[in-house]
Amino acid sequence: MNKTDFSDLKAEFDQFVREKCDTEACDTSGDSNPDNEPVPGFVDELTDKLLAPYHSGVYFSRLDIKRVAEAIDESIPIKERKKMLQALFRHTTRKEYLRVAFDEFNRHFGGRILIYTELSEAFPASKAIFDANIAKIKNTQKLLDQIVEDYEEIEATDEPMMV
Amino acid sequence: MNELTARSNIYALLSRIMLQELDVEILNTLMNDETVLEFLPHWKEWEQRTSVPPQKLLEEHLNPDFTNLSLLHLVPYETFYTRADQMIETGGANPVTDIYSAYDFIVDYGVARVVSSDHIGVELEFMHHLCQAQIKAVEEGDSDSAAELQTVQHRFLNTHLLQWAPMYLINMKYESRTPLYYDAAEMALEFILSDNEMLSAGA
């Protein structure tokens, strides 16, 4: 591709932007952005505790969250981790959905506990560090159980203003 | 002394791999040095290591993988893992700043291309720096300084690197797309843990 081709491409792109965006048709700052839609009350606490390695003892990457979503037949785009979790739980109405989703997170936690335990046994001088991480994982798992327990299901017939 | 030199060299190698994209010079070392290849078994056996031209290997395989693992999907900074708010401390309040200053270790952010001094590549380089200082002390017959520097290495490992790097390296291993970074993650994890065993036994 030569310089002229790039100039043509840029001119074409600028034209496209002028035509499509000058009308604000592609404005994503308004309420039409699904990322700005409200989420259930538990999601904020969940994202704080689950995503921070300081609290959870593991790092959930974007790909990890994507895998959890796929395991429960949900399709979410890869973006900022917090937004991915919000997308996963935004339309939660059933306790069973939460249980199944958290089971997948627990499977991930279980894998990490196994790795930490193996490393502790192989390298006992670092055991205290891995034990601390395992304790954090178990606390986070308790939090997940608590969220499921406290969750109140929403019926389709419920009065929206009362939810 | 041989063991100390070997530790110093391994910290330097791991620091280089973790800090930035590779260039042809370091790639040549990783491709041809038999000692290095012994540490990286999957990389050693990877057919494309020898069949793909080095520049293409860098541009189409290794450096995109590095970018995914260090910039896009994972976070190689200590404070991200050790702060409740997951923020990277980019200022003087970073917990590694004091110990770096105490041992004359200065981070050149422009050269390192990191946003904070607690990047895994920088922390590994600091361990290399301490090992080099210990080598110098041993050569000069200063056994007190040599012992102190070993104690500092042990302390730095336990108060910094080991507190968070295993979390990053475990993710790095499972999210890598090339055998080089898979092996490098495993090598780094096992090396810092086994180094802690050795340093703890001598403490």
**How far apart, in whole angstroms, are the C-alpha atoms of residue B151 and residue B140?**
18
Q: What digits encode the pLDDT tens for the residues B182-195?
A: 999 999 999 999 99
Write the DSSP symbol of residue A24: T
Averaged pLDDT, groups of 10, chain A, 163 residues long? 71 80 58 76 91 96 94 92 93 89 95 98 98 97 93 67 55
Is pLDDT at B143 greater than 90 in this prediction?
A: yes
Residue A94: other Cβ atoms inside 10 A: 11
Structure tokens at B72: 């896009």
Q: How confident is the model at residue B158 (pLDDT cuts 50, 70, 90)?
A: very high
Query: Where is pLDDT greater, at A156 or B28?
Result: B28
Is B34 an 8 Å CB contact of chain A? Answer: no
Residues of A in contact with B75 (CB under 8 A): 59
CB–CB of A59 and B162 under 8 A? no
Best mutation target among B192, B193, B199 (most A Cβ atoms within 10 Å) is B193
B110 CB-side CA count, 13 A = 0
pLDDT of residue A16: 81
pLDDT of residue A10: 79
CB-based contact A90:A69 (threshold 8 Å): no
Is pLDDT at B133 greater than 80 in this prediction?
A: yes
Q: What digits encode the pLDDT tens for the residues B91-102?
A: 888 999 999 999
Residues of B in contact with A57 (CB under 8 A): 167
pLDDT of residue B92: 81
Is pLDDT at B175 greater than 80 in this prediction?
A: yes
Q: How far is B74 from chain A (nearest CA, A)?
A: 7
**How far apart, in whole angstroms, are the C-alpha atoms of residue B32 and residue A131?**
40
pLDDT of residue B102: 95
Is B167 an 8 Å CB contact of chain A? Answer: yes
Of A19-28, B28-37, B73-82, give the lowest mean pLDDT range: A19-28
Cα A66 to chain centroid distance, Å, stands at 8
pLDDT of residue A77: 92
Residues of A in contact with B73 (CB under 8 A): 61-63
- In DSSP notation, B86-126 reads -----STT-TTHHHHHHTT----HHHHT-SSTTBHHHHHHH
pLDDT of residue A159: 59
- B172: nearest Cα among B186, B154, B158: B186
CB–CB of A53 and B85 under 8 A? no
pLDDT of residue A156: 59
